[in-house]
Structures are given as structure tokens and as C-alpha cells.
């Protein structure tokens, strides 16, 4: 039998300790980790690096509570060094760490959307790596007005008060914030084996979302809270799928972009807002490196002109440089576009948990509800105590002279209270209260004034008890407080949301890599596509097609051109010609259903060159209806994408016409009739799958056959078929004006 492997042991050197010179003590490594490392790791996780449901780490909470205890919510500013010294009674980690915490919470540092410290002096800037803050002896601070929402009713037993590190003082375990500060204040912390990085959200949006969730637990958070909001502004490149994933899992990253403006007078660009996750120095260094490498020849100079007016990076352009193209290039190559990684790790009841946005708000609602319950219990207790005293006083009112007589005729002071208790049937607390009344107040008027509050107190206590028993009333209390916070402190978003920017960025990046060369496009009726270069076309013979197939249209264009491929499954596939290899006239070309990975049995109905998306598409359906949809409805800025619901599925599609301006069209029915009308009679629809309007009045068993531009039809006497209004039945076709077998679309 194999010998069991002994656990690895660690030799602990105890040289020079208590006479054990040169001796060692063997200890298993697992025991060393358990006894020495694990307590440290848990301390960092639970008591230092990870924020709790109130949105604060212990260092923040200790600093703010100290300032509150110093009366700095209402008093003038005091020296920061004084605050740091007082905070050391709660936070033993040193003055430097405490002051750094204050700097981050300060208004002038611009780290938080809603700062908690009203600062005076140099507190540095979050967007600058090298702009150092002044020493604590040179700066002053007090609490911002919004801190009243952090400490509201803290003296009403809303949160637990615990001992500080040496048990000489009490401090709150959490702050009873009246709004979900955990999502409003940005927070970052690195613990042991885990980290937390919470982005900030707009206070107004967070409060409104919380209210909506309390009213409807199935509320879609994304509707009222579309994305984060950062104190440095900038632009958020919105990707709904990505945002939903972050909201659901608590992990992911948001793409942020700087804001800039072009000044034509000086031929320069000013960058005035940058992503929260970078700094001006990092951007300047990266641009300088790219200029040295010869990758940014469009820039003649770049400088940091940040001053008291705010951030400003100035870029001087060389003559003839397109500012839009340059900034697109800089966004790709420098931290002017950066990502903010999210990791919503939060301590819930002392345990670290990775939560989504909705889960965080649900946890906050549950926690805040408990805070309100505790406050109401405290208020009931206070009012009950007051009621108890007044009820004792009311009994004295029945015979004031008797009370005076008892006190006068009691020889020993210690017997006054017991004698009052016996004389009026009151308890010791009530008797003590009566005994302490001043002599001048032992009159009927004073006692009546005091006892009039009894009925009010009884009503208030009953109302508070009813609130405790009714969850809706509890929720209303929280909702009213949230509405007050929004009214007092709500502000507009600083970070602008760009809803199509992520797609545009992908398209721009892809387009930059595609060389723009002239090509000839050939598309057959059965869905074969050939892309032929001018040189190859000159050397080619006749175009080859599959048996039974023929040319639908040909077009001179470039390799960057986009195509819209409509299918019989009411779908549209977008693609670029760059996706296709150069072909020859002697080949059949690429079969679009295969090339575009269409569904089984799906066939091509029409291929439409997208151009610059300024034209119009006319869809003609078997039921006699026609729909006019602008090409811009199919613009998505992506190289290749499948669009469902590309047109109406209520009736089979017969014809698609492409037009750049209004024209006359001829519409044919299967019973040999034709109607001619102007497309100006068709109003454009914004939705792609619109059913359209009736253009052809059909006889029994007849359907719309097809449609064509009047110029491409065989109509000679258009007045015979002309309709001034639609729908129209049209006229019977003359034999000589019957449609040709095939009408090709030339573009």
C-alpha cells in the first residue's frame, strides 16, 4: 500500500526570539495560510476595499461621519488637517490615506457626480495624473448640502452603531442614505482575490428607476436608466445588447469618447471633455508618440490649456486636414476613446456579491425599507414615552391641590415619588415627571396645555403603527423621500449617449481598411452576382448565365458599395461588394443565398444598390397594395447584417422598384388591366413593414401581376390608363400595349 503523502510544512525561523536562538518550528503551509493570511484577506474584503449597500467603503463612511459629528453640515469650512486628525479616532490607517479619501470626495476634484465635500483650495483633478493636490494644512472643507440625505434620522436608530477600533467611540455600521448612492457615486476597490469597480449613474434616473421598480417589480431598468453618467462628461457609445448584459450580470465595459469642437478661425480642435477612465497626460503622451512615429502627420502641435475654466486640450491642424477624419483616427489610436470596465461587487450583510443593476436596487429597497421601519419604531417609542408622561400628568389635573398637599406633607424627599404613586395610581416614571415640574407650572392652565397633546399623540402613534403594517405605506414614505431628493439635487446628464455610435465606429473602422476601386456589377434574376474589374471586363466576351436565367441589372460602382438583398422570407441582407471576390464574364458568379448564408429554401427577390441611401423603394403586393419606404430605413452602418421585417408579410411581394425622384408607374393585373399613376400619390412610410395603400381595384379572382416604370413599359397611350386618384381599376390593355416578357431594371 502506497504511503500517504505528508502535507508540506513550513519552517519558521525564530532566531533571537525569547532565547530560541537558531531554532525553527515546523508548521504546515495550509495552517500558515489559515492563521495568518486568511484573516488579512477577509479584513481587506470586508473592512476596506469593497463598498456596501450604502455606497461607501469604511474609509469614506468614517470620514463623513466625523465631519458630521464636527457639525460641518451647517458650520463654516475648517482646515482639512483638523478633519483628518479628528477622523483618526475612527480610522487608524494614517493621515495620508484619510486625506486622499477626502480629496476623492471633494467637489473641486470632480471625481463624483454629486460630491460630498465642499472644498476650498487645490484638491487636484480626477482627469489629471500630474496635478497634485495641496497638503491638508493649506485646504479647507465642510460637508455638501446633499450629505443631509446621508445622515437623515441617523439619531433615530435607523442603523446600527458599533464600537470604533479601540471601543472608545461609536460609529455607524452604514449610513442611512435616502437614495441609492451605491449607483450614484463611482467606486473602485481592489481586495484580495476580488475587486469592485462601480460606475456612476445619473441621480435623477436612479431615483426614478427605483420608484418604478417599487411600483412594478417587472419594470425594465433600461427604459428609465439608459446608461452610466460620468462626472467628466464625454460621450457614451451605446450598444443596447452590451448594456443589457452589464445590467444583468454586473460585468462588462462601456465605451466612452471625448467631446471636441473645431474652430475654423484658428484651424484647431479643442477637446473639452475626456473619458472618465483616462487622463490628459496619458492622451498627450500617446499623441506625442504617434507623431514621433510618423503616424499623425496631420497635427502640427498639441498642448494642454486646462485652466480654472475647465479641461481643454488644443490640437493645431495642418492646412487642408479634415477635422472629422482626424478625430476618428485619434479615437481609434489614442485614449480619447476608452473603456470603463464594470465589476459590481458589493458587500451584502458582510458577504461580497456580484449583482446586476436591478438586483442592487432591489437590495437597496429592502435595506432602506428596514431603515424606515426602525425609524418608525423609534418614533413610536418616543411618542409612547411622551404619551405615558402626559397621561400621568392628566391624572394630577383631577386634583392639583392633592398633589401639592402630598408633596408638602411628605417629610423625606425620597418618599415624594412613592407617595405620589400611591395617591394618584401612577407609576414611578410618571411620578418622577410630576415631581420635577416647577412650582410656577403647578397650575390648571399649564397642565391643560400639556395634556391637550394626548389625543394628537394617540392619533400619531396609531398612524405610525398602521404604516408599519402596510407595505404600500412604507413604500410611499421611501418614494416621497426619493422624489424630494430628485427635486433638490437632480441634474441633467453630463455624459451624452450616442445610440448609433458603436455601429458607426465599426463601420468606419472597416471602411478604412477597404480600398476603393472601380468595379462593374452584374446581377442576374435568379440571384447570381458578378463583380468584374474594368480591365477584366475589357478582355471579356459575352456574359455567361445559368440556363433559364438572365441579367437583372448592371451598374458601374466601387468596391465599397453596399447592396440590399431582399428575399421571399420578408428579410433583407446587407452586404458590401468588398465581401465578394473579383470574377469574370465567363463564370456564373456568386450565388447570393449561399454567399449570404440564407435560411433553407430562402430565395432572392430583388437586389438593390444602396448608394447613399437617399432614394425610395416601392413595394407592390399581390393584393393590389403598394408601399413607399425610404432607403434610409435600411441604413444601419454595418458591413453586413440581416434585417427581419424588411417589408410587409400580409401579401406576396410581386415587384420592387427603386427611384430617386417621383415618376409615373404602370401597374398590371392578371385580368389584363393596367393603371398608370404618379408615385407622388404615395406617401412615404417610416416603418419598413408597412402594409401600404391600395393602388389597384381588383376584380374577382384577379391579383396584381407586376409593376414597372412607365418609361420601361410598352404603354403608348398613357392617358387611356391614367388615374388621378388611387385606388383605380384601370383600363383593359390593348394587344399592342401588352407588357414585354421581361422588363429589366437599368440603374
Give the H/E segment covering residue 394: helix 357-397
Strand, helix or coil for residue 103: helix
In the chain, CATH 3.30.1360.40 sits at: 259-335
* Segment 416-434, tens digit of pLDDT: 899 999 888 899 999 998 8
Q: What is the DSSP letter of 192?
A: S
* Segment 346-364, tens digit of pLDDT: 999 889 999 999 999 999 9
Strand, helix or coil for residue 374: helix
Give me the catalytic one of 40, 68, 99, 138.
Answer: 138
Average pLDDT over residues 459-466: 94
Mean pLDDT is highest, among 13-17, 457-461, 558-562, 600-604, for 457-461
> Residue 455: is its pLDDT beyond 60?
yes
Look-up of cell digits 500630474: 130
* Segment 645-691, tens digit of pLDDT: 899 999 999 999 988 888 999 999 999 899 999 999 998 887 888 99
> Residue 521: is its pLDDT beyond 80?
yes
**Claim: this prediction has a pTM higher than 0.75:** no
Is-contact 284 313, C-beta < 8 A? yes
Is-contact 579 640, C-beta < 8 A? yes
- Measured in whole angstroms, the distance separating CA 478 from the mean position of its chain's CA atoms is 23
Q: Give me the residues paired with residue 521 across strands.
A: 531, 555
Q: What pLDDT is recorded for position 509? A: 54
> Is the sign of the CA dihedral 360, 361, 362, 364 positive or negative?
positive
Instruction: Please give the full DSSP string across 70-101, using - where no structure is assigned.
Output: TTTTTSPPEEHHHHHHHHTTT--S-HHHHHHH
> Which three cell numbers, joined as nine digits, stand for 714?
410598352
* Segment 141-176, tens digit of pLDDT: 999 999 999 999 999 999 999 999 999 999 999 999
Indicate the pLDDT class of residue 610, thresholds 50, 70 and 90: confident
Q: What pLDDT is recorded for position 33? A: 79
Question: Higher pLDDT residue, 631 or 510?
Answer: 631
Cα dihedral 740/742/743/744 (nearest 10): -150
Which of 684, 660, 687, 680 minimizes the C-alpha distance to 725?
A: 680
Give the H/E segment covering residue 707: strand 704-709
Residue 350's CB: how many other CB atoms inside 10 A? 11
Average pLDDT over residues 280-284: 94
Task: Name the CA radius of gyration of the chain, rounded.
Answer: 39
Comparing 12-26, 309-323, 337-351, the range with the smallest average pLDDT is: 12-26
Is-contact 529 522, C-beta < 8 A? yes
Residue 575's CB: how many other CB atoms inside 10 A? 22
In the chain, CATH 2.120.10.90 sits at: 513-737
Counts for the chain of helices (H) and strands (E), in that order: 23, 35
> Is 489 annotated in the active site?
no
Distance CA 628, CA 619 (A): 7
Q: What pLDDT is recorded for position 741? A: 46
Q: Give me the residues paired with residue 341 across strands.
A: 253
Q: What pLDDT is recorded for position 497? A: 93
Q: What is the DSSP letter of 573?
A: E
Instruction: Select from 3.40.1370.10, 3.30.365.10, 3.90.1150.10, 3.90.199.10 the CATH code of 50-177.
Output: 3.90.199.10
Mean pLDDT is highest, among 488-492, 545-549, 659-663, for 488-492
Distance CA 510, CA 136 (A): 51
Q: What pLDDT is recorded for position 493? A: 94
> Which three cell numbers, joined as nine digits, stand for 83?
478633519
> Residue 516 class from Cβ within 10 Å (0-12 exposed, 13-18 middle, 19+ buried)?
exposed
Q: Which whole-number Å values give the CA distances from 685 to 37, 69, 432, 515, 630, in the listed order?
A: 68, 64, 84, 35, 7
Q: What is the DSSP letter of 526?
A: T
Q: What pLDDT is recorded for position 18? A: 44
Distance CA 38, CA 137 (A): 38
> Which three cell numbers, joined as nine digits, stand for 508?
468606419
* Overall CATH class of domain 259-335: alpha beta
Q: What pLDDT is recorded for position 560? A: 80
CATH superfamily of the 513-737 domain: DNA gyrase/topoisomerase IV, subunit A, C-terminal (2.120.10.90)
Q: What pLDDT is recorded for position 398? A: 76
Is-contact 50 57, C-beta < 8 A? yes
Q: What is the DSSP letter of 682?
A: S
> Which three cell numbers, joined as nine digits, stand for 626?
403598394
For β-strands 313-317 and 299-304, DSSP reports them as: antiparallel
> Which three cell numbers, joined as nine digits, stand for 436?
420635577
Distance CA 199, CA 256 (A): 12
Strand, helix or coil for residue 475: helix
Average pLDDT over residues 194-211: 95
* Segment 22-70, tens digit of pLDDT: 566 787 888 887 788 888 888 888 778 899 999 999 999 999 999 999 9
In the chain, CATH 3.90.199.10 sits at: 50-177
Backbone φ and ψ of 451, nearest 5°: -80, -10
Q: What pLDDT is recorded for position 687? A: 85
* Segment 5-24, tens digit of pLDDT: 455 454 544 444 444 455 66
> Residue 745: is its pLDDT beyond 50?
no
The CATH number of the structural domain formed by 363-489 is 1.10.268.10
| Alpha helices (H) in 544-608, listed in sequence order | 592-595
In the chain, CATH 1.10.268.10 sits at: 363-489
Distance CA 550, CA 11 (A): 87
Distance CA 641, CA 637 (A): 9
Look over the chain and give the mean of its residue pLDDT values, rounded to a whole number: 88
Q: What pLDDT is recorded for position 393? A: 83
Is-contact 561 576, C-beta < 8 A? yes
Distance CA 705, CA 743 (A): 13
Question: Higher pLDDT residue, 467 or 19?
Answer: 467
Is-contact 619 656, C-beta < 8 A? yes
Is-contact 444 400, C-beta < 8 A? yes
Q: Which whole-number Å values give the CA distances from 528 to 592, 593, 597, in the listed order?
A: 6, 9, 14
Amino acid at each position: 500500500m502506497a504511503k500517504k503523502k505528508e502535507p508540506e510544512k513550513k519552517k519558521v525561523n525564530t532566531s533571537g526570539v525569547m532565547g530560541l536562538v537558531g531554532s525553527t518550528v515546523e508548521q504546515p503551509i495550509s495552517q500558515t495560510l489559515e492563521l495568518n493570511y486568511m484573516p488579512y484577506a477577509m479584513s481587506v474584503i470586508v473592512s476596506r476595499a469593497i463598498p456596501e449597500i450604502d455606497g461607501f467603503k469604511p474609509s469614506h463612511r468614517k470620514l463623513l461621519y466625523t465631519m458630521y459629528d464636527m457639525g460641518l453640515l451647517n458650520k463654516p469650512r475648517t482646515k482639512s488637517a483638523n478633519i483628518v486628525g479628528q477622523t483618526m479616532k475612527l480610522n487608524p490607517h494614517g493621515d495620508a490615506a484619510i486625506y486622499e479619501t477626502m480629496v476623492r470626495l471633494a467637489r473641486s476634484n470632480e471625481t463624483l457626480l454629486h460630491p460630498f465635500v465642499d472644498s476650498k483650495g487645490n484638491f487636484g483633478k480626477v482627469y489629471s495624473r500630474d496635478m497634485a493636490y495641496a497638503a491638508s494644512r493649506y485646504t479647507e472643507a465642510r460637508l455638501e448640502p446633499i450629505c443631509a440625505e446621508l445622515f437623515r434620522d441617523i439619531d433615530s436608530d435607523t442603523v446600527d452603531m458599533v464600537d470604533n477600533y479601540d471601543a472608545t467611540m461609536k460609529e455607524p455600521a452604514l449610513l442611512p442614505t435616502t437614495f441609492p448612492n451605491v449607483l450614484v457615486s463611482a467606486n473602485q476597490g481592489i481586495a484580495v482575490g476580488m475587486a469592485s469597480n462601480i460606475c456612476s449613474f445619473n441621480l435623477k434616473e436612479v431615483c426614478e428607476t427605483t420608484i418604478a421598480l417599487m411600483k412594478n417589480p417587472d419594470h425594465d431598468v433600461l427604459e428609465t436608466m439608459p446608461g452610466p453618467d460620468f462626472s467628466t462628461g464625454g460621450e457614451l457609445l451605446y450598444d443596447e445588447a452590451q448594456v443589457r448584459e452589464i445590467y444583468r450580470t454586473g460585468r462588462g465595459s462601456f465605451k466612452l469618447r471625448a467631446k471636441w469642437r473645431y474652430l475654423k478661425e484658428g484651424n484647431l480642435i479643442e477637446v473639452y471633455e475626456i473619458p472618465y477612465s483616462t487622463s490628459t497626460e496619458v492622451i498627450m503622451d500617446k499623441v506625442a508618440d504617434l507623431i514621433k512615429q510618423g503616424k499623425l502627420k496631420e497635427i502640427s502641435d498639441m498642448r494642454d490649456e486646462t485652466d480654472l475654466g475647465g479641461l481643454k486640450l488644443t490640437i493645431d491642424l495642418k492646412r487642408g486636414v479634415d477635422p472629422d477624419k482626424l478625430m476618428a483616427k485619434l479615437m481609434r489610436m489614442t485614449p480619447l476613446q476608452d473603456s470603463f470596465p464594470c465589476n459590481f461587487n458589493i458587500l451584502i450583510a458582510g458577504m461580497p456579491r456580484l449583482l446586476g443593476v436591478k438586483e442592487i436596487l432591489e437590495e437597496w429597497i429592502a435595506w432602506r425599507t428596514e431603515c424606515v421601519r426602525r425609524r418608525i419604531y423609534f418614533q413610536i417609542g418616543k411618542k409612547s414615552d411622551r404619551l405615558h408622561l402626559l397621561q400621568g400628568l392628566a391624572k394630577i389635573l383631577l386634583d392639583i391641590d392633592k398633589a401639592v398637599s402630598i408633596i408638602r406633607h411628605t417629610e423625606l424627599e425620597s418618599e415624594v415619588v412613592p407617595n405620589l404613586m400611591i395617591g394618584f395610581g401612577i407609576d414611578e416614571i410618571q411620578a418622577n415627571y410630576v415631581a420635577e415640574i416647577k412650582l410656577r407650572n403647578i397650575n390648571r392652565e399649564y397642565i391643560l396645555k400639556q395634556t391637550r397633546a394626548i389625543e394628537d399623540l394617540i392619533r400619531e402613534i396609531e398612524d405610525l403603527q398602521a404604516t408599519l403594517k402596510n407595505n404600500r405605506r412604507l413604500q410611499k414614505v421611501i418614494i416621497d423621500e426619493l422624489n424630494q431628493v430628485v427635486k433638490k439635487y437632480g441634474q441633467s446628464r453630463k455624459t451624452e449617449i450616442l445610440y448609433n455610435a458603436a455601429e458607426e465606429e465599426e463601420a468606419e473602422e472597416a471602411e478604412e481598411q477597404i480600398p476603393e476601386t472601380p468595379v462593374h456589377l452584374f446581377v442576374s434574376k435568379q440571384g447570381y452576382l458578378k463583380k468584374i474589374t474594368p480591365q477584366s471586363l475589357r478582355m471579356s466576351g459575352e456574359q455567361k448565365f445559368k440556363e433559364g436565367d438572365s441579367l437583372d441589372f448592371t451598374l458601374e460602382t466601387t468596391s465599397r458599395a453596399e447592396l440590399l438583398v431582399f428575399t421571399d422570407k420578408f428579410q433583407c441582407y446587407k452586404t458590401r461588394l468588398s465581401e465578394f471576390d473579383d470574377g469574370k464574364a465567363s463564370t456564373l458568379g456568386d450565388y447570393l443565398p449561399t454567399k449570404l448564408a440564407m435560411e433553407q429554401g430562402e430565395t432572392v427577390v430583388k437586389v438593390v444598390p444602396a448608394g447613399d441611401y437617399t432614394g425610395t423603394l416601392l413595394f407592390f403586393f399581390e393584393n393590389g397594395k403598394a408601399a413607399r419606404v425610404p432607403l434610409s430605413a435600411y441604413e444601419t452602418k454595418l458591413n453586413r447584417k440581416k434585417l427581419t421585417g424588411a417589408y410587409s408579410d400580409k401579401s406576396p411581394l410581386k415587384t420592387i422598384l427603386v427611384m430617386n425622384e417621383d415618376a409615373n408607374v404602370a401597374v398590371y393585373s392578371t385580368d389584363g388591366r393596367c393603371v398608370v399613376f404618379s408615385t407622388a400619390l404615395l406617401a412615404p412610410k417610416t416603418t419598413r413593414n408597412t402594409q401600404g395603400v391600395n393602388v389597384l381595384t381588383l376584380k374577382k379572382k384577379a391579383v396584381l401581376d407586376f409593376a414597372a416604370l412607365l418609361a420601361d413599359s410598352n404603354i403608348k397611350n398613357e392617358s387611356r390608363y391614367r388615374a388621378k386618384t388611387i385606388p383605380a381599376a384601370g383600363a383593359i390593355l390593348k394587344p399592342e400595349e401588352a407588357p414585354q416578357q421581361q422588363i429589366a431594371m437599368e440603374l
